[in-house]
Structure 1
Amino acid sequence: MKVSLVPIAENERPTLERLFQFYLYEMAACLALPLNAQGSYAYRPTLLDGYWTQPEHQPFFMVVENDAAGVEAVEQELAGFALIRRYPQDPARYDIDQFFVARKFKGQGVGKQALANLLNQFPGKWQIRVLVENEPALAFWQSAVRQVVGQHYEHSMDLDVDLMMHFFRFEV
């Protein structure tokens, strides 16, 4: 299985917004997000605007390519998204703002491959922020960061605006 990062064009934003609902569904377990009357999770759409208006923001779809045995065609499937940016409080550092792997692909190395692809494409200083309440994400990021950068990272707890978070910081 090969994982590619495909830049998200502005006309593909509706696809990202549909995936974002699945992301919010998973985050609801940590943040107790309410469903609105239409059965979706409310969020400020402006949260995503910067990914097409600010050059330091980069949106990507994760695409999995499966080469089925005995079949010549390679099947591609959308597997999630990664939204990265320069961190506003430290513009010299890349920040994974939002990261989502569809449930079907969890535990198959898709997220770790996507992380490795991001780091190869954007060498430099990085950080990953994880909500304290999001224990599954914390376990994933501890494993993924260790696999991709070895022991060469810093793990700390700090406030990010008004939320306590785990921070993983490293340079590649």
Structure 2
Amino acid sequence: MTVKLISAQVSGRGIVENLFRYYLYDMAVFMGWRVNKNGEYDVNLSLLDEYWSEPDNHPYLIQYQGEIAGFSLLRRYPDEESNYDIGQFFVLRKFEGKGVGREAFKQSVALYPGPWLTRVLHENKSALGFWLKVIAELTDGDFQHQTEVDVDLPMHFIRYQSVAAET
């Protein structure tokens, strides 16, 4: 399996914005968002600005066998800047169940060793199962999982340590 993370820093913003619409579609089931009169989800793409403007935030495209498969948007968590955070992570449904998300996650956190945080909506049980499984694999089960509030939403917070990728 060939999964690659490609920096979206230079020319990938438009691709991430396009993929973000599919991400919103998937998230709408949990958030209850409605489409507008044009049949689109209203999206404030300036929410992505921090990934291209903050020095410790890093946007990546996920590529599988040469095809764009999703994105991994990494940042310092605003309330705990010592922790890296999976800000947004998305794999197109076409690639689900192929190990693409698992491999992209492992590559993402290996780039920035140290303390990490992954947040998951309470309603998104399939995502929670995925994250608990891949984080347990990465850490040999050494992680903390609890409910906390992120801005105004109670969420699953999973805290763990990442080590540098082996070369």
User: Aligning the two structures, in what range does the TM-score lie when normalised by the shorter sequence?
Assistant: over 0.9
Cα displacement (A) at 1:157: 0.5
- Number of residue pairs aligned between Structure 1 and Structure 2: 162
Larger radius of gyration: 1
Q: Following the alignment from structure 2 to structure 1, what is the Cα–Cα distance between the partners of residues 52 and 144?
A: 31
Residue identity over aligned pairs, in percent, reads 41
Find the residue that maps to 1:96 and give its secondary structure: strand
Cα displacement (A) at 1:9: 3.1
Q: Following the alignment from structure 2 to structure 1, what is the Cα–Cα distance between the partners of residues 38 and 61?
A: 26
Residue 113 of structure 1 corresponds to 103
Cα displacement (A) at 1:10: 4.5
Give the AA of the match of 1:87.
Y
Cα displacement (A) at 1:78: 0.5
Q: Pick one of 144, 153, 156 that aligns with 1:154.
A: 144
Q: 5+ residue gaps in structure 2?
A: 163-167
Find the residue that maps to 2:39 and give its secondary structure: coil
Normalising by structure 1, we get a TM-score of: 0.90
RMSD (Å), alpha carbons: 1.1
Contact 1:112 1:148 in 2 (8 A): no
Q: Following the alignment from structure 2 to structure 1, what is the Cα–Cα distance between the partners of residues 59 and 103?
A: 16
Cα displacement (A) at 1:146: 1.1
Give the AA of the match of 1:12.
G
Normalising by structure 2, we get a TM-score of: 0.93
Runs of 4 or more off by more than 4 Å in structure 1? Answer: none
Residue 17 of structure 1 corresponds to 17
Q: Following the alignment from structure 1 to structure 2, what is the Cα–Cα distance between the partners of residues 38 and 112?
A: 35
Q: Following the alignment from structure 2 to structure 1, what is the Cα–Cα distance between the partners of residues 144 and 9?
A: 33
- Comparing 3-12 with 134-143, which one deviates more in the overlay? 3-12
